Structure 1
Amino acid sequence: MFLGSHAINMDAKGRMAIPTKIRESLSSFCGGRVVVTAHTEERCLLVYPENQWQELLPKLEALPSFNKASRRIQRLMIGYATPLEMDANGRILLPTPLREYAGLEKKTMLIGQGKKFELWSEQRWIDWLDADESDDDIPEQLHNLSL
């Protein structure tokens, strides 16, 4: 399970070092192989351990092709999906199209989401935290959740 938030610097070539604790988990869980793709609702990236992605991919492919929303999800998630492997120093190299999609520059935030991570530009993450989301309806499932 991937938890927590981590500030990570990315170099000019798009290389970023995965924090040691996460690196160890990824190494044991998926041999350091991940799939990075576009988030469909936010301008950030999703980072899946390769085995989690392999479970998700058939579900994405099975979405109805004549549904506009389904096609958008497929085009973004499958179209941007990029297999990556950590190098000996625990770094991954993010390709330019992925960096451009998420607006990633030097300062990034890696946010644990259980079975995956989100990778945000630090500024977009701060903007998202500061945004007023009070207009969104609370899903029914959350009404009885006690935090």
Structure 2
Amino acid sequence: MSRGSSHISVDAKGRVSIPTKHRHALSSSEESALVVTISATDRCLLLYTADAWVDVETKLVSLPTLNPQIRKLKRMLIGHADDVAMDSSGRVLLPSALREFANIGKKAVLVGQGDKFEIWDEAQWVAERDSMYEVELDEANLPEELASLAF
């Protein structure tokens, strides 16, 4: 389970050091095998274990490609996916093209999302986080899927 957030540094080679508290969530059956891709909705990266990515990719591949929105989603997620590995020091090299897409500089934030982590440029994450609290939650119009959720 990927949850919580951590501020992390990006070194000159584009590597991020995964905090110890998150390393277990990124362990999979294939030792240190991870997949990083772009988000289809935000200027951030998505970091999956190889096992979790296989589930996502299988679902995407099974979708009909005649629908232009599905084609676009496949191009974004699968077309930008890159296999990466966590080294013995807990570092992951983020490909330069993906860092460029997400505008990730020297400081980043790792944000847990349950089945994956998002990786944001620190300044962009702070702006995104702050903007979430500017919009009031309309409890009367929550999606049906959230009706039974208590928080």
- Superposition map of 1:42-57 within 5 A: 42-57=42-57
- Consecutive aligned runs of 4 or more in structure 1 exceeding 4 Å deviation: 134-137
Distance 2:117 2:67 in 1: 27
What's the secondary structure of 2:43's corresponding residue?
coil
Residue 55 of structure 1 and its aligned partner are, at CA, apart by: 1.6
Matched, 1:129 2:132: no
Matched, 1:141 2:145: yes
TM-score, normalized by length of structure 1?
A: 0.90
What's the secondary structure of 1:56's corresponding residue?
helix
Moved more, 63-72 or 24-33: 24-33
Asked if 2 retains the 8 angstrom alpha-carbon contact of 1:36 and 1:47, the reply is yes
Residue 30 of structure 1 and its aligned partner are, at CA, apart by: 4.3
TM-score, normalized by length of structure 2?
A: 0.88
Asked if 2 retains the 8 angstrom alpha-carbon contact of 1:23 and 1:32, the reply is no
What's the secondary structure of 1:80's corresponding residue?
coil
Matched, 1:39 2:55: no
Distance 2:23 2:104 in 1: 20
Distance 1:51 1:144 in 2: 29
Cα pair distance change 1:124/1:86, threshold 3 Å: same
Asked if 1 retains the 8 angstrom alpha-carbon contact of 2:9 and 2:107, the reply is yes
Q: For this pair of structures, how many residues does the alignment match? A: 147
Distance 1:26 1:85 in 2: 10
What's the secondary structure of 2:129's corresponding residue?
helix
Partner of 2:98: 98
Structure 2 residue runs without a partner (length 5+): none
What's the secondary structure of 1:69's corresponding residue?
helix
Asked if 2 retains the 8 angstrom alpha-carbon contact of 1:8 and 1:108, the reply is yes
Structure 1 residue runs without a partner (length 5+): none
Q: Equivalent pairs: percent with the same residue?
A: 44
What's the secondary structure of 1:79's corresponding residue?
coil
- Superposition map of 1:41-120 within 5 A: 41-120=41-120
Q: Which amino acid is the alignment partner of residue 141 of structure 1?
A: E
Partner of 1:21: 21
